[in-house]
Amino acid sequence: MGLQGLCRLMSRFNSYKRTNIILQHLKMSNHTDAAAEVLLERKGCAGVITLNRPRFLNTLTLGMIRQIYAQLKKWEQDPKTFLIIIKGAGEKAFCAGGDIRDSCQKPYIALIHGITMGGGVGVSVHGQFRVATEKSVFAMPETAIGLFPDVGGGYFLPRLQGKLGYFLALTGFRLKGRDVYTAGIATHFVDFEKLGMLEEDLLALKSPSKENIADVLETYHAKSKTDQDKPFILEEHMDKINSWFSANTVEQIVDNLQQDGSSFALEQLKVIKKMSPTSLKITLRQLMEGSSKTLPEVLIMEYRLSQACMNGHDFHEGVRAVLIDKDQSPKWKPADLKEVTDEDLNDYFKSLGSNDLKF
């Protein structure tokens, strides 16, 4: 997908402005001072993007997206810019929200230390190089607010090992540190204290090829010893996860968890029962269909889903309950899985005709 895809996807933000509740969820605004919120610098051989809202976990604003898009177009045409690095200011978060998808023909390196959710996933996971640290926290918690794991989640999640992506999407389970690498979400793991040195070495490269960049990343990865021998947090459960989440319906997944009866299974069952039934069914179908689609095809599908969710009940209710009133007691409609019919789902996935996303 080229940069035109990002330009088209910026139109999503205009639909998000329909209600204040959505703006509050995404922590977006029409700030004119976008320059202070995102730093765009040429350093050495690279263009460096720094998401600069550490007090707000580096969540993305519409103004930031416009600036990033315009600069990426310039850097893509600049023969002196050989790679793109994107990172977050501060130590707490790479990016915890907003929603853009970024694509560039030049090598793209995301330094995903700290919290990486929502839009943070969108501006990192589709890049060629993703570097996690012991401070990385990855999650796709959208089913808890009546949404679905967009930002291309329908493409990358079903392509993780086994049924791990289905598990992460439906439960919102958080992966931390080296587990982000082990799961396949990051391509490399580097000790946080070495991240600055890694960036300096990347910037110092002279007319680097992708192979030169990969060599630097591999060198740092090989030297990073933090939690090197620690087993993957889900390792002992992966066989069961692959079995439970192989079901073709959410109802069957629930039955699988109930029948298993282990403490881990019942813990996941408890989590799933708190999620929006509509979101759960949308998400399962999204991943099943996305497993055989190209990324542009997935983005078209997810754009349709996003428009339907904006006009539906559960997203507004989820944002109210989880992020605004914080009573953590959303009243989903429908409230039961069996009440979400195939016909209901088909309405979410149907074509928007001339309003479909175009590349």
User: Could you read off the pLDDT of 88-146 as tens digits, one per residue?
Assistant: 988 888 877 654 334 667 899 999 988 988 777 877 888 899 999 999 999 999 999 99
Supply the pLDDT for residue 96.
72
Task: Show which residues are catalytic.
Answer: 98, 119, 142, 150
Q: pLDDT tens digit string along 40-80?
A: 999 999 999 999 988 888 888 778 888 988 999 999 999 99
C-alpha span between 266 and 215 (Å, rounded) = 44
Q: What is the pLDDT along the chain (359 residues), one digit of tens a residue?
A: 444 444 444 444 444 333 343 444 444 444 445 558 999 999 999 999 999 988 888 888 778 888 988 999 999 999 999 999 999 988 888 877 654 334 667 899 999 988 988 777 877 888 899 999 999 999 999 999 999 998 899 999 999 999 999 999 999 999 999 999 999 999 999 999 999 999 999 999 999 999 999 999 999 999 999 999 999 999 999 999 999 999 999 999 999 999 999 999 999 999 999 999 999 999 999 999 999 999 999 999 999 999 999 999 999 999 999 888 999 999 999 999 999 999 999 999 999 999 998 87
Q: What domains sit in the chain, N to C, each tagged with a CATH number?
A: 38-223 (3.90.226.10), 237-355 (no CATH)
Q: Which two tokens stand for residue 42?
A: 């040429």
46: left (phi over 0), alpha (psi -120 to 50) or beta: beta
Supply the pLDDT for residue 99.
40
C-alpha span between 8 and 25 (Å, rounded) = 22
Supply the pLDDT for residue 30.
43
- Rounded to the nearest angstrom, the gap between the alpha carbon of residue 355 and the centroid of all alpha carbons in its chain is 24
φ, ψ dihedrals at 111, nearest 5°: -95, 95
φ, ψ dihedrals at 261, nearest 5°: 75, 0
127 contacts 102 by C-beta, under 8 angstroms: yes
Supply the pLDDT for residue 20.
41
What residue type is assigned to position 126 of the chain? H
Q: Which two tokens stand for residue 94?
A: 């790479």
Per the listing, tokens 């088909």 go with 346
HEC-encoded secondary structure of the chain: CCHHHHHHHCHHHHHHCCCHHHHHHHCCCCCCCHHHHEEEEEECCEEEEEECCHHHCCCCCHHHHHHHHHHHHHHHHCCCCCEEEEEECCCCEEECCCCCCCCCCCCEEEECCCEEECHHHHCCCCCCEEEECCCCEEECCHHHHCCCCCCCHHHHHHHCCCCHHHHHHHHCCCEECHHHHHCCCCCEECCHHHHHHHHHHHHCCCCCCHHHHHHHHHHHHHHCCCCCCCCCCCHHHHHHHHHHCCCCCHHHHHHHHHHHCCHHHHHHHHHHCCCCHHHHHHHHHHHHHHCCCCHHHHHHHHHHHHHHHHCCCHHHHHHHHHHHCCCCCCCCCCCCHHHCCHHHHHHHHCCCHHHCCCC
Q: What angle, rounded to 10 degrees, do the helices at 250-260 and 277-290 form?
A: 100
334 contacts 340 by C-beta, under 8 angstroms: yes
φ, ψ dihedrals at 157, nearest 5°: -65, -45
> 137-139 and 175-176 as β-strands: parallel, antiparallel, unpaired?
antiparallel
**Dihedral, CA of residue 65, residue 70, residue 75 and residue 77, to nearest 10:** 140
349 contacts 306 by C-beta, under 8 angstroms: no
C-alpha span between 109 and 125 (Å, rounded) = 10
Q: Give residues with Cβ within 8 angstroms of 25, minimum separation 6.
A: 97, 145, 319, 323
Supply the pLDDT for residue 104.
66
